[in-house]
Amino acid sequence: MKSFIRKSLATLWGVLGVSFIPAAQAGIIEGINHTHWSINRFSVDGRSALDIIGPWQGGGGGYFSMPARWVPGMTVKVEWETGVAYPDGFPGFADSVAYEAWYSAVKAQSRQLHKIVSVPEYTAKEACGITVHFLPCDDIQVTTSCLGYGRPGYPIKTPLHLPEPESCPK
């Protein structure tokens, strides 16, 4: 009877386009910013990281878990906003005209970005959330490694302080 119910549910999920893949160990969304811009916000597959990340820093927050099994072609969608890290000339809030002008100038330097990126192969034992590396030229890399950035065995070896290239490939 249990087998019949399992097969029936699997058929129903297939018809509805729902797949049941058990989740790996839950972890958090982390970010490592290798640029001189601030990462004002970012999310992975719609799950928000909670921190703003300054230039050449790490941060994050929010829960994320990968499926228990990696499959070839697996991707995640990363959305992020970059902006001026430490904007000059904050006029305070008392003069609303000056504040609005300052805020508009800061927002004009912000950019909304998104990218679909491949997830490197992992096992459930090796998946501890996801870490997004923000690189110059609006590039990113991700890993599900349980090790922290900079530790021996961490898969992404990119130095934290990367020089900004004079031009980026299109």
Query: Tens of pLDDT along 56-111?
Result: 999 988 889 888 889 999 999 999 999 887 677 888 899 899 889 888 888 888 89
pLDDT score for 106: 81
- The pTM (predicted TM-score) of the whole model is 0.78
Q: What is the CATH number of domain 21-85+114-143?
A: 2.60.40
For residue 122 the two structure tokens come to 């992992």
User: Can you tell me the distance from the alpha carbon of 32 to that of 60, in angstroms, rounded to the nearest whole number?
Assistant: 9
User: Can you tell me the distance from the alpha carbon of 26 to that of 64, in angstroms, rounded to the nearest whole number?
Assistant: 6
Q: How far is CA 15 from CA 4, 6, 7, 18, 71, in A?
A: 16, 14, 12, 8, 21
Helices (H), strands (E): how many in the chain? Answer: 2, 8
Query: Tens of pLDDT along 105-160?
Result: 888 888 999 999 999 999 878 888 999 999 999 999 999 998 999 999 999 999 99
User: Can you tell me the distance from the alpha carbon of 42 to that of 30, in angstroms, rounded to the nearest whole number?
Assistant: 10
pLDDT score for 24: 59
pLDDT band at 22 (very low <50, low <70, confident <90, very high): low
For residue 17 the two structure tokens come to 């386009």
Type of residue found at 13: W
Picking from 129, 133, 132, the residue whose alpha carbon sits closest to that of residue 144 is: 129
Would the pLDDT of 12 be above 60? no
Picking from 48, 28, 62, the residue whose alpha carbon sits closest to that of residue 131 is: 28
For residue 149 the two structure tokens come to 């950035």
Domain residue limits, the chain: 21-85+114-143
Bridge-based pairing state of the strands 27-33 and 129-135: parallel
Residue range 25-53: average pLDDT?
Answer: 91
pLDDT score for 170: 77
For residue 98 the two structure tokens come to 């000056």
Would the pLDDT of 44 be above 80? yes
Query: Tens of pLDDT along 114-127?
Result: 999 999 999 878 88
